[in-house]
Amino acid sequence: MTAPGGPGPFRLGFLTHVHGRGRPVGAVYRELVELFVAGEELGFDGGWIAQHHFSPDYGRLPSPLLLLAAAAQATRRIELGTAVVVLPLEDPIRLAEDAAVLDALSDGRLQLGLGTGGPSAPAFGAFDRDVARRRELFAEARVRLRDLLAGEQIAGTDGLRLHPPAPTLTSRFWDSTTSADGARAAARAGDGLLLGIGPAASAQRPLADVYLAAHRAPAGARLAVSHGVFPGPDRLAARVDLAPDIARFRPYLGHFGFPADLDDGAALDAMNVHHGPVGVVIHSLATNPVGPAAVSYFIAAVQGEAGAAADLGATLRRMELIATEIAPALGWRPAAGPVPDTPTPVGPERKR
């Protein structure tokens, strides 16, 4: 499997699930904007953030489009991605309106990742949604969201249409799924496929193959993957820093056919967390079945759940290593384009 559209450089993004356990949430959000400013300065093509409801520790951001609006004001070029908005829990009209405003505010930089919400299953009852119908609800909401953004008349009204209009945003939809049917549906809809959790060979690669085979125009397919990338002095140090994340990963190991008692290093490898010295990380990514060479957009998860893995300064250093050493060794080139000479103040000055 080669990158969609043929050989060529991939786009590079960073991802955070918005951690910062025990810290004031306002400070955590301001630091997120700092990551977008730093990512733009380093040449990253995009920054992506996850949505989590009712979570005071892991994943502390329920409203990613609001945070991305702040990032839009502090940056000029970098793409603003959601990985993902839990679509079955959203009102399509309100989501369309918020997304259209953000897209206008950012001059068309929004990349709208959408998911069915498997990991968010406990939240469905709070929204009066049936979690057993989450895939059906997703499919229904995606059709309506697409129609709204395309400017179709809103059913039940006297010719009302979405304002502001955002007809090009539908070409920047990304579907996240763990099922072959979901991958086919993404291809048939013309959406990109965003691959998240799961081993590359047994989970991500088969979904990518299904998506590419089902796409009406394979040369125009958009395939993205998110892997953890945690360069450090050695693999043991990285495992110590990522101990809370390893504990969170373990329940998924059995689902993907791995024994729950895998040692920490093997558990990280199984879940596509590339860690250790820069050369080791480069080799690990270069040989991965769904690494940067196999996709059009590679998104590096750069922030862990707690401690050193979540620290802003450490995260910025990882991003710098990814942008200056790791990704260039794999064929990536920094994005070109204007960046602000003096970014909008968003919090304490970064320690670089």
Q: Give the tens place of pLDDT for each residue, 121-137.
A: 999 999 999 999 999 99
For range 209-231, the mean pLDDT: 94
Say yes or no to pLDDT of 143 above 60. Answer: yes
**Residue 22 belongs to what domain range?**
11-329
User: What total of structural domains would you count in the chain?
Assistant: 1
Enter the DSSP assignment of 65. Answer: H
* Total-model pTM: 0.92
Domain assignment present for residue 147? The answer is yes
Say yes or no to pLDDT of 349 above 50. Answer: no
Percent of the chain, pLDDT > 70?
Answer: 93
For range 210-236, the mean pLDDT: 94
**173: phi then psi, degrees, rounded to nearest 5:** -80, 140
Q: What's residue 11's pLDDT?
A: 97
Q: What's residue 337's pLDDT?
A: 54
Give dist(CA 84, CA 66) in Å, integer.
14
Of residues 150 and 57, more confidence is placed in 150
Q: What beta strand segments (E) does the chain contain?
A: 11-16, 46-49, 79-86, 110-115, 173-176, 192-195, 223-231, 273-276, 297-301
pLDDT band at 7 (very low <50, low <70, confident <90, very high): very low
Domain assignment present for residue 234? The answer is yes
Domain assignment present for residue 350? The answer is no
Is 305:240 a contact under the CB 8 Å cutoff? no
* Token pair 């690990």 in the structure block, residue: 284
**CATH number of 31's domain:** 3.20.20.30
Domain assignment present for residue 344? The answer is no
pLDDT band at 28 (very low <50, low <70, confident <90, very high): very high
Domain assignment present for residue 2? The answer is no
Say yes or no to pLDDT of 1 above 80. Answer: no
Q: What's residue 340's pLDDT?
A: 47
Q: Which residues contact 285 (CB under 8 A, 6 or more apart)?
A: 227, 229, 274, 291, 292, 326, 330
pLDDT band at 88 (very low <50, low <70, confident <90, very high): very high
Q: What's residue 200's pLDDT?
A: 93
For range 286-300, the mean pLDDT: 96
What is the amino acid identity at position 243? A
Percent of the chain, pLDDT > 90?
Answer: 78
